[in-house]
Structure 1
Amino acid sequence: MEDRGYDDEGGAPLAGYAGIAGGFALGVAAYATVFRRLGRRVPDQVPPWDVLLLGTATFKVARLLSKDKVTGFLRAPFTRRVAEGEASEVMDQSRGGPARRAVGDLLSCPFCVGAWVAAGLTGYYAWSPRPARLVCAGLSAVTMADWLQYAWTGTQQAVEG
């Protein structure tokens, strides 16, 4: 049996992924160091309601960053648009060398970028819970509004169709 490496095509930018993962770990470590040195304390508990707010806000920001037409300018240096999706969403494909492709893979994947968004929002919540709740509530409201738009459109199509 032939050894093909990590993936069948041999094109996974593993070094780029490792760099991104290392950058993420360094960012978390730097945040934690500053957090501790300034005498901040991690909340003793995170109520389920706050987890729900953080989760829906993470979902919305991840979709905005990875799929929205308007944020295409952020992805453009690392991706190219390959298809139009529903509701102003787009499908992008990463491009370029290993590092550029790795960033493109991250930015075009809502699941991938969601981990970064969750880390940022969780760090914000740990630093300053009240304003973080407000920001997450606003983003969660947009998520709910999106679902209502889908429900409205679906109902309208069912009635007309």
Structure 2
Amino acid sequence: MTDAGQYDDRGDAPLAGYAVLAAVFTAGAGGYGVLARRRGVRLPQELPPWDVVLLGTATYKASRLLARDKITSFLRAPFTRRTGEGEASEVVDEPRGDGLRRAVGDLLSCPFCTSAWAAGALVCSYAAAPRLTRLVCGGLGALTVADWLQYAWTWTQQNAGS
């Protein structure tokens, strides 16, 4: 049974670090809003469904690149430690340290967690430069399609002899 003042069973959730990260995210979004307004950025009147799909696909791929790709390990290394190999040359990291370091490690080792940050960055970019953002999202979307084709090809090869 947990203590009434304890957040989790292990007692090691870096709540203060999470609060700092939430504050940074909120301040970044608010700062972007103020800066965009001062520079005359006009928000789009609507967000077409196709752009939502494109932003969502790009967010998915950006979060996987940040949290699981070998090539971005240098970003995660100060906050995480490699614990294994995932599918398709992805890596699995776990957070290290305490406090803010641990909170950042939790963020960077979780594609679901990094997706909120990736989506925030892409949406801000979309508001300021929709054409450029669509191009970047198209590239990340193409990588996502290529990944799924690689998975399909591997599955086909593995099941061809069955």
Q: Same fold (TM over 0.5)?
A: yes
Alpha-carbon separation, structure 1, partners of 2:75 and 2:148: 25
Shift of 1:69: 1.0
Alpha-carbon separation, structure 1, partners of 2:42 and 2:2: 53
Q: Which amino acid aligns with 2:147?
A: D
- The alignment of Structure 1 onto Structure 2 pairs a total of residues equal to 161
Alpha-carbon separation, structure 2, partners of 1:57 and 1:28: 19
Moved >2 Å (runs of 4+): none
Residue 3 (structure 1) aligns with = 3
Q: Which amino acid aligns with 1:93?
A: E
User: What fraction of aligned residue pairs are identical, expressed as a percent?
Assistant: 62
- SS of the aligned residue for 1:31 comes to helix
- SS of the aligned residue for 1:12 comes to coil
Alpha-carbon separation, structure 2, partners of 1:158 and 1:75: 36
Provide, for residues 53-110 of structure 1, a one-character-per-residue CA deviation record: whole Å limited to 9, x for no partner. Answer: 0000000000000011111111000000011111011110100121100000000000
Provide, for residues 11-44 of structure 1, a one-character-per-residue CA deviation record: whole Å limited to 9, x for no partner. Answer: 0000000000000001001000000011111100
Shift of 1:2: 5.3
Unaligned runs of at least 5 residues, structure 2: none
- TM-score when normalising by structure 2: 0.96
Q: Which amino acid aligns with 1:104?
A: G
Q: Which amino acid aligns with 2:102?
A: R
Unaligned runs of at least 5 residues, structure 1: none
Q: Which amino acid aligns with 1:129?
A: P
Q: Which amino acid aligns with 1:121?
A: L
What is the Cα-based RMSD across aligned positions, in Å? 1.1
- TM-score when normalising by structure 1: 0.97
Residue 43 (structure 1) aligns with = 44
